[in-house]
Structure 1
Amino acid sequence: MQRPELTATAAEGTASMIPHYFLYEEAASKVEPSFLHIEPIPVRSGRHNWTIRTHTHPDHHQVLVISKGGGAIEVEGVSWEVSPPALVIIPALTIHAIRFRPGTDGYVITVALPFLQSALDDDANLIDGFRVPVRFLSQQIGRDIDLVGLFASLEHEFVWSAPSRRTAIKAYLQLLAVTVRRLLEQERVRPISSAREAETVMHFRELVEKHYRDHPSLDVYARKLGVTAARLNACCRMTTGKSSLALINDRLLTEAKRNLLYSDMTVNEIGAALGYADPAYFNRFFSRNVGLSPGRFRERLFSDETRAAAS
């Protein structure tokens, strides 16, 4: 398994450069709470020369299963190589692009968050498995999970009209969510978190999303959640394997990388948009966590893109 790691004006400027779709190359529209779509990978990718260019889905999660072929998936600037069988989760608002090998097969599910929450009975343990980009490869999936069969059964229910069709679709989504949950647990050497702990972390992430540019202390976050900072940290470690501070830093780094990749903002402007009044402090924070300065990170990525385009 692998997981990758603004001011309002800056955020809008960055987002406007990235196409927003509910399905690739179909214009984004107001999210339908009951929206779910599933199709074989070749249906859309085949007619686009097996290349899905950089875009994001504002209101929908995507789940892919790859049964044949494979390729490279870029998620928030991190490149993943995938070979079958593979399962990939791309949450809403995640910037991504895919270059499939010709002839790749499998399925892709696109689902609105309200429908997913309803199908999973608002179970925080199950919903949390779809909130972070993640891939599972053959060595994690093993031989006892027929993911391709699960997706095929879901597609079968999707394309025909039969009694209790919606109930069947929800049942298959529940089975998929349970499978994701178990795969995540296999990768974590830690106690299994309770539903209450997972819900605390879910609400913490929602608060981080709203306030990370303002850099409130962990005590402030904890008070908003009605727990102590130590309890919040324990919930984060049990549910994600990371400390509460690490989750905040991950969010800051993700936004910094997005701006370095997809905007014309200078490094100092990016730091200021993320709440760093001192450019040197932002540079040290980024370098310590990424291993490269912001400027060098941007240069290396553009150099890699140039080489890929020329090949």
Structure 2
Amino acid sequence: MPNASRINVAQPTYGGAATPAYSLYGEGPELGQSIYSNAESIFVRSKNLTNNIEMHLHRDLYQFVYISIGKSTLVTPAGRKDFGDRTLLLVPPNFEHGFNSYPEIETRGHVITISDFFFGRMAQRGLLVADVLDSIMIFEGIDPIKNATLIESIEKVIQEHHEFRYPHVLAREASVQAFIVEFLRLLHERNAFKEGRDAGKYRDLSDGGRIKQLSWLIDKYYKSHKNVNFYAKQLGVSASNLNKLAVIATGGSVHANLRARIMEEARAYLANTSLSVKEIAYRLGYEDAAYFTRFFTKNAEMSPIEFRRIATQAPG
């Protein structure tokens, strides 16, 4: 079985004056607000950069790096880690990292970047996501036969992000979802879910079950703008206890999860349709388009119109 390792950092680093925060390395911070996913070869991602990518972090992106052949060195505050052929690496949001490359060695592979709100939804927001928030993960020695489906899913993501035939948006989402499924299977195979987990976070299966049910209920009712008490009643717990469970499992309160779900759908409409802001507001349960605009602007730090402009200019 291939090796799996983690680069543990006590807490995610949110960056300071000495640590640049990017969406994609070298891109403006607004790009992370506009993309669900981005996929490209290592050559394309680094063609305008030097061989060494300086220490930086991504505030709202999960980044997967797959090296098919070659060599690179991951640099973190915890130290350095060399990795080579058939290695898959995951850097969650808010972890400082950099890469040292070797120009004398031909390195091939792919970089898949997924917005955190999209990853959270695709990975069944909550328990699964919490398991990959606490460290950088490195999976070495990916078996091209045993893990053929994983490798195929990576290649499919790359293919669909360079395909513009209808319905390309749906095809991209489907390819990313299939990749996340294979990644989570790899985690399960390596028993990585159990490593470093704080057992106290999940006292019993009923807590996990409630969080999964909460995710389902949010998907069903978020456009109705129900309050926390509604969800608590549906799940047979108090509002305060449900909020505690939500924070433990997802990092945010029930209200924060509702807000994220609305923002996710709003971004999708703005990026992938020609609906007006008023029409989008109505579809999301807002009678007052001005109120929706204020809500979106507060959470995205840009207006819906500005977001649409940036989203339609995003690469891939």
Name the TM tier (shorter chain): 0.5 to 0.7
* Selected match of 1:143 from 142, 145, 161: 145
The one-letter code of the counterpart of 1:171 is: A
Instruction: Return the letter of the residue paired with 2:189.
Output: Q
Question: Corresponding residue for 1:171?
Answer: 174
Unaligned segments of structure 1, at least 5 residues = 6-10, 201-221, 236-311
Alignment match of 2:244 (pick from 212, 222, 225): 225
Matches of 1:51 and 1:198, distance apart in 2: 44
> Do 2:23 and 2:59's aligned partners in 1 also have CA atoms closer than 8 Å?
yes
SS at match of 2:74: strand
After TM superposition, the score normalised by the length of structure 2 is 0.54
If the length of structure 1 is used for normalisation, what is the TM-score? 0.55
Structure 2 SS opposite 1:84: coil
Which residue pairs with 2:30 in the alignment? 29
CA distance in 1, matches of 2:118, 2:126: 14
Contact 1:62 / 1:91 at 8 angstroms: preserved in 2? yes
Q: Number of matched residues?
A: 202
How far apart in 1 are the matches of 2:56 and 2:184?
Answer: 27
Letter in structure 1 aligned against 2:18: M
State the match for 1:154 in structure 2: 157
Deviation at 1:223?
A: 10
- Report how far residue 16 of structure 1 moved: 2.1
Amino acid at match of 2:145: R
Offset at 1:195? 9.1
Residues in 2 aligned to 1:27 and 1:165: alpha-carbon distance in whole angstroms = 25
Segments of structure 2 that go 5 or more residues without pairing to the other structure are 195-201, 212-240, 250-316
Aligned partner of 1:187: which letter?
A: R
What one-letter code is carried by the residue in structure 2 that aligns with 1:65? Y
Name the CA distance, whole Å, in 1 between partners of 2:131 and 2:22. 22
CA gap 1:190/1:80 in 2 versus in 1, 3 angstroms? closer
2:110 to 94, 103, 107: 107
Q: 2:89 matched to which residue of 1?
A: 88
Any conservation in 1 of the 2:58–2:93 contact (CA below 8 Å)? yes
Q: Match of 2:53?
A: 52
Identity across matched positions, percent: 20
Are positions 1:4 and 2:15 aligned together? no
| Whole-angstrom CA distance in 1 between matches of 2:206 and 2:5 | 23
How far did 1:50 drift?
Answer: 2.3
Contact 1:67–1:148 under 8 Å retained in 2: no
Alpha-carbon distance, 1:82 to partner:
0.9
Alpha-carbon RMSD across the aligned residues, in angstroms, is: 3.5
| Distance across 1 between alignment mates of 2:87 and 2:193 | 24
Distance 1:145 1:137 in 2: 12
* Counterpart Cα distance in 1 of 2:20 and 2:73: 20
